[in-house]
Amino acid sequence: MEKSVSLDRIIASEHLQIVYMPESVGANGEKRKVCTTDVNRPGLPLLGFFDHFDVNRIQILGNVEMSFLTEKSGKERTEIFDNLFSRQIPAIVVTRNLPIPEELIASAQKYDIPVLASNRPTSRFMSSLINFLNLQLAPCITRHGVLVSVYGEGILILGESGVGKSETAMELLKRGHRLIADDAVELRAVSDLTIVGSAPELIRYMIELRGIGLVDVRHIFGMGAVMDTSRIDFVVELENWNDSKHYDRLGLETQEYEILGHKIPSVTIPVSPGRNLAIIIEVAAANNRQKRSGYNAAEEFNRRLMKHMSEANAEDNL
């Protein structure tokens, strides 16, 4: 099923003014669906060139387009707008609070096309709109886990039920870090490089602790303890300690966890009585941040070790 977002949600998110809304699409545009993250400034279509024109895109008129249209006669503007709106575009947005020609409204009424207005500069509005559409229309999956922000790193904590994910998240909150989602994490591929996580609206800001029940983190720790979304920078997989399993002690082994085709750096942390998982995850977050900055402690140790061994062999050969 193709994903879509209703026009009323776009209007609310981007603080758009409704200039004209056809009855057929609802009072606020809730019946009009947008199914593409792309938008368009119809420069060539205003000249009548519609080859490769995508009728599913929201069309945006800025200062350049409106300046061109003001030079045309009323009859020419009517022909231009009829030609554009007859293709049944989702909506048209005029930016910068620019005056809207009467011919545009008339053609919109003729073809049932919503007309919206923004007071923002065109480039800023387009950037904001594309970001919103990318988030809403991105491929999405749900994972059972916890998402926290630790030192600015988005940490996705995974593991079997009862392993201690929520308790670890609560300890991290007490240490000044932030919660994004508990129990169910919605993961979206918003670009070729970025996975973003958030909580389902029903359980947003909530955390479940066995024996206590649901806790509203926002009310207990304040708004500074929660975030609505976060990029996934690192994945921590918690598992009960297994004596027969070998755990990496140096950090030279590179682990990755795949989400929607993206490979995210990860680590497996064994859980046993007495281990402070919150502190371990803090260190893992700081270490991952260092690695992204170009410093790898394990590789530095290995370099020192190889140098020491080389020097020792040289002394033995003397």
Written as one string, the DSSP assignment of 111-171 is HT--EEE-SS-HHHHHHHHHHHHHHHHS-EEEEEEEEEEETTEEEEEEE-TTSSHHHHHHH
pLDDT band (50, 70, 90) for residue 306: confident
Give CB contacts under 8 A, 24+ apart, made by 216-220: 217/173, 217/179
Of 144, 263, 303, 307, which residue is the catalytic one?
144
Of 52, 245, 246, 249, which residue is the catalytic one?
249
| DSSP string of 51-119, one letter each residue | TT--TTSEEEE-HHHHHHHHTS-HHHHHHHHHHHHTT--S-EEE-TTPPPPHHHHHHHHHHT--EEE-S
Query: Are 239 and 271 in contact, with CB atoms under 8 Å apart?
Result: yes
Provide the pLDDT for residue 150.
95
- Which of 8-17, 70-79, 251-260 is least confident? 251-260
Query: Are 80 and 46 in contact, with CB atoms under 8 Å apart?
Result: yes
Q: What confidence tens digit (pLDDT) does each residue in 20-42 have?
A: 999 999 999 999 999 999 999 99
Domains in the chain, ordered, with CATH?
5-135 (3.40.1390.20), 138-300 (3.40.50.300)
165 labelled catalytic: yes
Provide the pLDDT for residue 318.
62
In angstroms, the first-to-last Cα distance of the chain is 74
pLDDT band (50, 70, 90) for residue 212: confident
178 labelled catalytic: no
Task: For residue 46, count other CB atoms closer than 10 A to its CB.
Answer: 20
Would you say residue 298 has pLDDT above 80? no
Residue 312 or 70, more confident: 70
Would you say residue 84 has pLDDT above 90? yes
Provide the pLDDT for residue 1.
61
Would you say residue 314 has pLDDT above 70? yes
219 labelled catalytic: no
Of 72, 82, 120, 183, which residue is the catalytic one?
183
Provide the pLDDT for residue 109.
96
How far, in Å, CA of 79 to CA of 46, rounded?
10
Provide the pLDDT for residue 251.
67
Mean pLDDT within 209-232: 91
Predicted structure pTM score: 0.74
Provide the pLDDT for residue 272.
85
Would you say residue 176 has pLDDT above 70? yes
Would you say residue 46 has pLDDT above 70? yes
Q: What confidence tens digit (pLDDT) does each residue in 240-291 have?
A: 888 777 777 766 677 899 999 999 999 998 888 878 899 999 998 998 888 8
Of 32, 41, 143, 165, which residue is the catalytic one?
165
DSSP 201: G
Residue 151 or 272, more confident: 151
243 labelled catalytic: no
pLDDT band (50, 70, 90) for residue 144: very high
